[in-house]
């Protein structure tokens, strides 16, 4: 498969870019932040996303979606990254839709997927517990109780957990922290007794949640996939999320870079455009090269996720590791090259820096994925 977008994919990109740049420029995020909006995104815009078929992009046709793949999801994420649009797209349309489509029973799929596609159901994936992403270290306990389970423990950094109508929760049903076996995924109603959600407004003006489970009862039908064998499903879903976030970081990096190059051509000091100085030219060129190489690695990973699941894990580790370091470099150079203006809240560039930091941590930072690659290769 050629490592370029097909004509259909280019059209999808153009339509996503048109909508997002028109309805949700960075000013949209800024407005929600300044208004201290507790939802943190526009429900009206989410409805438009559904009408355009974006919310059900990964939902199979028979459940009302478009049945497209990870490359297409990545295309939308890249456009989201360009304007930092806050949206349930990642939590609901990428993560939850993939989890349900891959691991759900027919009944579970029929119950939830059409609602994801039509925009009426918001969902969130609850994985992380400690400060760093370590899915194998999951401790939240699932204890058998009657016909079902009782869940007890804490989750953090649940993206969009504050607005979710449905939670997908990773829990330990057997074994101990660090074991691959013994993980189970559960579909949980956030209104269930014993469950407490705290919205956590983050540095990037997006929202996540800390969630406490105190003997939350779930029945056997709530199990997504197989009891104790949830890790494979979880890892597959996480890899899709990693590819998606890597795409967001490519869009974010590219946008910061474009704004920075424009500034280098406009800003004059010592009687000339600062972009004439070789010290800045070379750094700009290095950043450009870094972004283009990362862009290729991310597209490679998204294609692998759609075609060759076995190879995908390595390709995704490469993509997420690269995207993290590239985005970090892009926002740092972006702020530095904007000089004092880059430090002001009035300039948008700081929003990109904050979002890049959050994207680094989402589903494993560059260190995590570089380590994954090394372990995968046996050293």
Partner 1 sequence: MADLEKFRAETRAWLEQNCPAEMRKPMTSDGDTFWGGRNAKFSSDAQRVWFERMRDKGWTVPHWPREYGGGGLDGEEAKIVRQEMAAIGARQPLTSFGISMLGPALLKYGTEEQKREHLPKITAGLIRWCQGYSEPNAGSDLASLQTRAVGDGDDYIINGQKIWTSYANYADWIFCLVRTDPAAKKHDGISFILFDMTSKGVSTKPILLISGYSPFCETFFDNVRVPKSHVVGTVNRGWDVAKYLLQHERAMISGMGERGVGRPLGQIAADSVGADAQGKLDDAQLRSQIANFEVDEAALAAAAERAVDLAKAGQSHPAFSSAMKYYGTELNKRRYEILMSAGGIDALEWESDRSRGGARPRAWLRTKANSIEGGTSEVMLGIVAKRILDLPGA
What is the size of the binding site for partner 1 (CB under 8 A)? Answer: 42
Q: Which residue has the tokens 């497209």?
A: 68
Least separation in angstroms between residue 304's CB and partner 1 is 10
| CB 296, min distance to partner 1, A | 4
- Residue 311 Cβ vs partner 1, minimum distance, rounded to whole Å: 11
Locate 99 and state its tokens: 């989890």
Does 275 interact with partner 1 (rule: CB under 8 A)?
yes
By CB under 8 A, name the one of 145, 281, 307, 336 that touches partner 1: 281
Query: If binding is defined by CB under 8 A, does position 330 make contact with partner 1?
Result: no
Got the DSSP string for 1-50?
Answer: --SS--HHHHHHHHHHHHHHHHH--HHHHHHHHHTT-SS-S-HHHHHHHH
What is the C-alpha to C-alpha distance for residues 157 and 110, in angstroms, rounded to an integer? 28
The rounded Cα 351 to chain-centroid distance in angstroms is 17
Rounded-to-integer distance, Cα 112 and Cα 56, Å = 11
Q: Which is nearer to partner 1, 223 or 291 (CB)?
A: 291
Residue 272 is a binding residue for partner 1 (CB under 8 A): yes
Per DSSP bridges, beta strands 141-145 and 148-155 are antiparallel
**Smallest separation (angstroms) from partner 1 to the CB of 41:** 32
Q: Please, which residues bridge with residue 63 across strands? A: none
What ranges in the chain are assigned the alpha helix state H?
7-23, 26-34, 43-51, 70-83, 97-103, 106-117, 230-266, 278-307, 309-337, 349-361, 366-376
In the set 21, 227, 288, 332, which binds partner 1 (CB under 8 A)? Answer: 288
Among 156, 170, 171, 317, binds partner 1 (CB under 8 A): 317
Binding flag, residue 192, partner 1 (CB under 8 A)? no
Q: Which stretch binds partner 1 (CB under 8 A): 109-117, 135-143, 198-206, 318-326?
A: 318-326
CB-side exposure of 249: number of CA atoms within 13 Å? 37
Nearest to 154, CA basis, from 139, 136, 142, 168:
139
**Does 252 engage in binding with partner 1 (CB under 8 A)?**
no
Choice between 238 and 264, CB closer to partner 1: 264
> How far is residue 168's CA from residue 290's CA, in Å, rounded to a whole number?
35
Which one of 11, 220, 289, 343 is in contact with partner 1 (CB under 8 A)?
Answer: 289
Which of these segments, 125-133, 172-180, 220-228, 366-374, binds partner 1 (CB under 8 A)? 366-374
List the one residue from 100, 124, 183, 299 that touches partner 1 (CB under 8 A): 299
Closest separation between CB of residue 230 and partner 1, Å? 24
Residue where the block lists tokens 């959050």: 358
Residue numbers 158-187 binding partner 1 by CB under 8 A: none
300 near partner 1, rule: CB under 8 A? yes
Report how far residue 324's alpha carbon sits from residue 361's, in angstroms, rounded to the nearest whole number: 9
Pairing of strands 166-172, 123-126: parallel
Asked whether position 146 contacts partner 1 by CB under 8 A, the answer is no
Among residues 177, 196, 293, 309, which is the contact residue for partner 1, using CB under 8 A? Answer: 293
> Per rule CB under 8 A, is residue 305 in the interface with partner 1?
no
Q: Ramachandran region of residue 67, left (φ > 0), alpha (ψ -120 to 50) or beta? A: left
Enumerate binding residues for partner 1 (CB under 8 A): 2-4, 261, 264-265, 272-273, 275-276, 278, 281-282, 284-286, 288-289, 292-297, 299-300, 314-315, 317-319, 321-322, 369-371, 373-375, 377-379
């Amino acid at each position: 498969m050629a490592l370029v977008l097909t004509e259909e994919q280019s059209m999808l990109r153009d339509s996503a870019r048109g909508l997002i740049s028109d309805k949700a420029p960075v000013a949209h995020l800024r407005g929600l932040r300044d208004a201290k909006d507790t939802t943190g995104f526009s429900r009206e815009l989410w409805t438009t996303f559904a009408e355009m078929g974006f919310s059900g992009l990964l939902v199979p046709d028979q459940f009302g979606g478009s049945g497209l793949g990870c490359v297409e999801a990545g295309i939308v994420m890249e456009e989201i990254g360009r304007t930092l649009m806050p949206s349930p797209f990642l939590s609901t349309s990428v993560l939850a839709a993939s989890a349900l489509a891959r691991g759900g029973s027919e009944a579970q799929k029929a119950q939830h997927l059409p609602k994801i596609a039509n925009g009426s159901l918001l969902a969130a994936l609850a994985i992380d517990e400690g400060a760093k992403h370590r899915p194998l270290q999951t401790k939240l306990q699932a204890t058998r109780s009657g016909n079902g389970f009782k869940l007890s423990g804490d989750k953090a950094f649940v993206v969009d957990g504050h607005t979710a109508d449905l939670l997908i929760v990773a829990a330990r049903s057997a074994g101990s922290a660090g074991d691959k076996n013994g993980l189970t995924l559960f579909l949980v109603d956030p209104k269930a007794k014993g469950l407490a959600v705290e919205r956590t407004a983050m540095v990037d003006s997006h929202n996540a949640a800390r969630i406490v489970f105190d003997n939350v009862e779930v029945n056997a039908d709530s199990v997504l996939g197989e009891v104790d064998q949830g890790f494979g499903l979880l890892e597959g879903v996480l890899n899709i999320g990693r590819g998606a976030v890597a795409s967001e970081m490519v869009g974010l990096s590219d946008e910061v870079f474009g704004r920075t190059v424009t500034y280098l051509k406009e800003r004059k000091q010592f009687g000339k455009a600062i972009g004439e100085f070789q010290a800045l030219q070379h750094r700009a060129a290095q950043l450009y090269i870094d972004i283009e190489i990362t862009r290729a690695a991310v597209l490679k990973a998204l294609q692998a996720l759609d075609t060759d699941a076995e190879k995908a894990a390595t390709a995704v580790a490469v993509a997420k590791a690269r995207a993290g370091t590239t985005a970090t470099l892009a926002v740092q150079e972006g702020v530095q090259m904007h000089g004092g203006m880059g430090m002001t809240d009035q300039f948008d560039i700081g929003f990109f820096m904050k979002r890049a930091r959050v994207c680094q941590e989402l589903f494993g930072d560059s260190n995590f994925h570089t380590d994954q690659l090394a372990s995968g290769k046996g050293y």
